[in-house]
Amino acid sequence: MNKSILKFMRKSKTMTLSTDGIKLWGTKVYYALDHGFIFFIEKKGLTIQNIYKNNNVSFEIDNNKLSIIVQGSGHVEILGEPTDFDRERGILLYKVPEDVQFMKHGTVYIARLVPDFIRVIDMRTEFKKFDIDINLDEFTEKQHPVFLSSRPWSFQQSIAAILLGAVLATRINLFLLFLSIMGVLLAQASFNILNGYFDFKSGNDNKLSMTSTRVFIDRIVPERRAVQYSMIMLILAVIIGIYAVYIKPEILLYFVIGLIGGILYNLPRIGLKRMALGDISVFIIWSVIFLGSYIFQGGIINIPVIFISFAVGILTLSILHSNNWRDIKDDKNANVKTVASLLGEKISMIYYLILIYIPYILISTAFYLSYKLLPLLSVFITIPMSVYLARIAINNKNIKRGELDRLTARFTFIFAITGAVFYLGIMFIYGMDKFIL
């Protein structure tokens, strides 16, 4: 199959179905690839009625930005209740996590459309219309299960914290920067896997949970293998950390705080996250990641830098809270106490809004105390993104509420990276060489 078309189908999420005999009407579904197109379909309605009568269905996937349209036809198999199909459900919900809300109401079946014929209209450079051969083995989502369990989307905040800390230092040693990123990401990946594993074993995550990783719930990866990978990554992270301390003994305290904080956060039953201490621990850990990176590059801590570290910690905290806010009901059922579950729905919304706007105040304060931090005021160009998140948070009927943690992670990454890029840009304009090997 044409690789660019296959990549397009993997990247796309929505597909319009039309059953035979209905020319001007169709239903839009979210889909994922698994030896065909898998999706949820409502148990009641015209579409399901026509599929039961005749399972021949035509479909269309389009993307206006790329000017590609994939059309075709095939037969639909109604697999049954989503809770009975672990792997298929997991593949779909990882790609489209907001679909879990339909599962919660028990109003959908999981279905697979097996294509018999596919035609592509490609208008990116010139009009092309061609048929493609179908190989169902290629209809898969290309993501490694253990990699999924590490929640890779969450890495961006750590990378942003490390980069921002390094940029604010006098010089950036590229080798030390690489070492910092590798050590922190290995530790974070390990702790993320363990966090998902313990949530699954404790019953905190179940088939109806809107958890960001479903590899354990949906039996996509064996538990033992994931834990083994986690331990290997943690050992490698510790080795890198010890080497970093050997190079720069000043970061010993930050290394110890980060490591102990990550371990205590994830412990079953008595972990910090289960005693409403997760918020403060995440705030401290990511503030420390920023400060550790800053000191590792030779920076000297002062009051403005501390304010910036608070901004970094609060930005990461906003991601955690958006996740805990979504999971209030599940956490209460599992007897897990979070700040969100203690605050309740309405106060949690206010708390979230405070978390995404306080960093602007902290950055402004840092600039007031040190005018050389002027380039960091560039973060204010991300205000439209924060307004977008606020609108989602305020509207509890918005379908995006289910993936607010991911959207918040993207916002916080752009916030920090914007400041780092503008700061580097100003240094470049004034001819200041920031990089050494």
Of 287, 292, 310, 280, give the one whose Cα is nearest residue 252: 292
pLDDT at 125: 67
Q: Tell which residue, 289, 311, 407, has the closest CA to residue 358.
A: 311
| Mean pLDDT in residue range 335-350 | 87
Which of 98, 117, 142 delimits the end of a domain?
142
294 contact partners, CB below 8 Å, separation of at least 6: 165, 166, 168, 169, 301, 305, 309
Both 214 and 343 in one domain: the answer is yes
What tokens appear for 249 in the block?
Answer: 């003994």
Q: How far is CA 219 from CA 23, 148, 197, 223, in A?
A: 40, 13, 12, 8
Note whether 253 and 302 are same-domain residues.
yes
Round to whole Å and give the CA distance between 94 and 97.
Answer: 5
What is the domain extent for residue 424? Answer: 146-436
Name the domain count of the chain. Answer: 2
CATH of residue 84's domain is 2.30.110.10
Residues 204 and 254 in one domain: yes
Question: Which one, of 77, 79, 154, lies nearest residue 114 by Cα?
Answer: 77
Same structural domain, 371 and 328: yes
Token pair of 136 as six digits? 């169902």
* 285-309 tens-digit pLDDT: 999 999 999 999 988 999 999 999 9
**Residue 358 pLDDT class (50, 70, 90 cuts):** very high
pLDDT reading at 159 higher than 90: yes
Q: Verify that 120 and 153 share a domain, yes or no.
A: no
Are 354 and 221 within one domain?
A: yes
Coil vs helix vs strand at 338: coil
Domain end position, chosen among 108, 142, 176: 142
Orientation of helix 155-168 relative to helix 174-202, angle to 10°: 150
Q: What is the mean pLDDT of residues 80-98?
A: 82
Residue 211 sits in the same domain as residue 69: no
Residues 128 and 150 in one domain: no
Instruction: Evaluate if residue 34 carries a pLDDT over 70.
Output: yes
Same domain? For 121 and 240 the reply is no
Do 301 and 183 belong to one domain? yes
Select from 112, 142, 172 the last residue of a domain: 142
Average pLDDT, the chain: 85
pLDDT tens digit sequence for 230-256 = 899 999 999 999 999 999 999 999 999
Same domain, 198 and 302: yes
Of 323 and 212, more confident: 323
pLDDT at 1: 66
Match 């030779």 to its residue by tokens. 298
Are 337 and 370 members of one domain? yes
Positive or negative, the CA dihedral 109, 115, 119, 122 is: positive
Which one, of 282, 247, 265, 258, lies nearest residue 184 by Cα? 258
pLDDT digits (tens, 9 = 90+) for 5-17: 888 888 888 998 8
Is the alpha carbon torsion for 158, 277, 204, 352 positive or negative? negative
Per-residue confidence at 324, pLDDT binned at 50, 70, 90? confident
Look at residue 403 and tell me whether its pLDDT is greater than 60.
yes
Judged by DSSP in three states, 31 sits in: strand
Instruction: Please give the DSSP secondary-structure letter assigned to residue 19.
Output: E
